């Protein structure tokens, strides 16, 4: 084990030294104004990347093929960090599956194709862990990524994001184009969407417990039994991995998480403690828990990048809540 740890440490040092060559390259960040994108821009600036292209959605319509081609032809980015996408919770995905599929599929196709056509050296894309089949063993291994269909609750979005992996593989296979695709676990962190009804689970719960505290509500009701487990990934770890992936010469996909499972009960109790809510958490057991367990096997990522993201859930939640 000591020998392996030494090898992984050397890999980390090599990646960091290799990334120096990207510091002055022209880097396009799609979705730069969104949750992950805004955190990525902060980290890129912190690490000394100086030549960033960060068009807003009004400046560049990523769905429109002509607009995307014109942008790549005029700006010729050397590296593309593709973060943009139409996202939402389960309710939004169930109500608008066609919109989620079309938007995300078209954006992914346009980015991959025109990055290749206009000479980009590298594309790193953020896909989604919900692309995994519904019924596979845990922890999820990349070897099982193609062994079935994803959950129908997010089918349009999941398949569109899965296409990023297909596109990356196809362009590498035919043209030798260097793409890497990451599959993040459930993301959370500063600058997320904290709307109670259309955000992801952690920001929705944070908002719910803060509202309960402010209104002196004696109880907060949450769905299920709390027994189910999930994996949560701090956005600060996410953006560092995206930057590191510029040095990767494999399409993947690569799981991106902590490899740690947390029960929904523990998640709710931790959020309640951190926001200072002292009332009772009431479990509506008539509501479904969803899949009993969902978390990642991180061995492939560690073998390639030399580490596993390790921000603890409590530390990441505290940072998130403190910045609200």
Supply the pTM of this predicted model: 0.93
Q: Given this model, what pLDDT does residue 1 score?
A: 54
Q: Given this model, what pLDDT does residue 25 score?
A: 95
Closest listed residue to residue 68, CA positions, set 98, 121, 30, 24: 30
Question: Can you give the residue ranges of every domain in the chain?
Answer: 2-189+233-260+295-310
Q: Given this model, what pLDDT does residue 135 score?
A: 85
Q: Given this model, what pLDDT does residue 154 score?
A: 86
Closest listed residue to residue 227, CA positions, set 297, 323, 128, 294: 294
DSSP designation for 220: E
Kindly give, in sequence order, each residue whose CB lies less than 8 Å from that of residue 155, ignoring residues fewer than 6 positions away: 93, 97, 101, 149
Q: Give the CATH superfamily of 2-189+233-260+295-310.
A: NAD(P)-binding Rossmann-like Domain (3.40.50.720)
Rounded distance, CA 254 to CA 139, Å? Answer: 14
Per the CB < 8 A criterion, the answer to whether 83 and 32 are in contact is: yes
Q: Given this model, what pLDDT does residue 85 score?
A: 94
- Burial environment of residue 314 by CB neighbours within 10 A (0 to 12, 13 to 18, 19 or more): middle
Residue by residue, pLDDT tens for the chain (324 residues) are 555 556 556 556 656 666 788 888 999 999 999 999 999 999 999 999 989 999 999 999 999 999 999 999 999 999 999 999 998 777 788 899 999 999 999 999 999 999 999 999 999 999 999 899 988 999 999 999 999 988 888 889 999 999 999 999 999 999 999 999 999 999 999 999 887 666 778 998 999 999 999 999 999 999 899 999 999 999 999 999 999 999 999 999 999 999 999 999 999 999 999 999 999 999 999 988 888 899 999 999 999 999 999 999 999 999 999 998
Q: Given this model, what pLDDT does residue 8 score?
A: 53
Q: Given this model, what pLDDT does residue 290 score?
A: 80
Q: To which residue do tokens 């390259």 refer?
A: 25
Catalytic positions, written as ranges: 157
Give the DSSP letter string of 166-189.
HHHHHHHHHH---EEEEEE-EEE-
Q: Given this model, what pLDDT does residue 10 score?
A: 57
């Amino acid at each position: 084990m000591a020998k392996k740890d030494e090898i992984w440490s050397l890999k980390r040092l090599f990646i960091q030294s290799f990334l120096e060559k990207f510091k002055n390259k022209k880097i396009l960040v799609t979705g730069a104004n969104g949750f992950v994108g805004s955190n990525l821009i902060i980290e890129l600036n912190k690490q000394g990347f100086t030549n960033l292209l960060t068009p807003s959605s009004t400046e560049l319509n990523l769905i429109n093929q002509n607009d995307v081609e014109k942008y790549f032809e005029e700006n010729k980015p050397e590296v593309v960090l593709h973060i943009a996408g139409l996202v939402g919770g389960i309710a939004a995905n169930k109500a608008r599956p066609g919109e989620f599929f079309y938007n995300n599929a078209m954006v992914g196709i346009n980015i991959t194709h025109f990055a290749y056509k206009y000479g980009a050296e590298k594309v790193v894309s953020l896909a989604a862990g919900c692309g995994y089949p519904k019924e596979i063993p845990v922890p999820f291994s990349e070897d099982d990524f193609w062994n079935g269909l994803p959950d129908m609750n997010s089918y349009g979005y999941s398949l569109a994001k899965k296409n990023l992996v297909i596109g990356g593989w196809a362009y590498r296979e035919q043209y030798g184009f260097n793409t890497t695709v990451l599959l993040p676990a459930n993301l959370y962190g500063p600058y997320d969407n904290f709307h109670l009804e259309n955000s992801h689970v952690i920001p929705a719960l944070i908002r719910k417990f803060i509202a309960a505290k402010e209104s002196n509500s004696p109880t907060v009701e949450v769905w299920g039994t709390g027994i189910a487990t999930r994996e949560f990934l701090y956005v600060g770890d996410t953006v560092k991995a995206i930057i590191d992936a510029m040095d990767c010469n494999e399409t993947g996909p690569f799981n991106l998480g902590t490899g740690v499972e947390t029960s929904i009960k523990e998640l709710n109790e931790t959020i309640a403690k951190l926001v200072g809510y002292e009332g009772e958490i009431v479990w509506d057991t008539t509501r479904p828990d969803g899949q009993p367990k969902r978390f990642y096997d991180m061995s492939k990522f560690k073998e390639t990048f030399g580490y596993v993201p390790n921000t603890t859930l409590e530390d990441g939640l505290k940072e998130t809540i403190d910045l609200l």
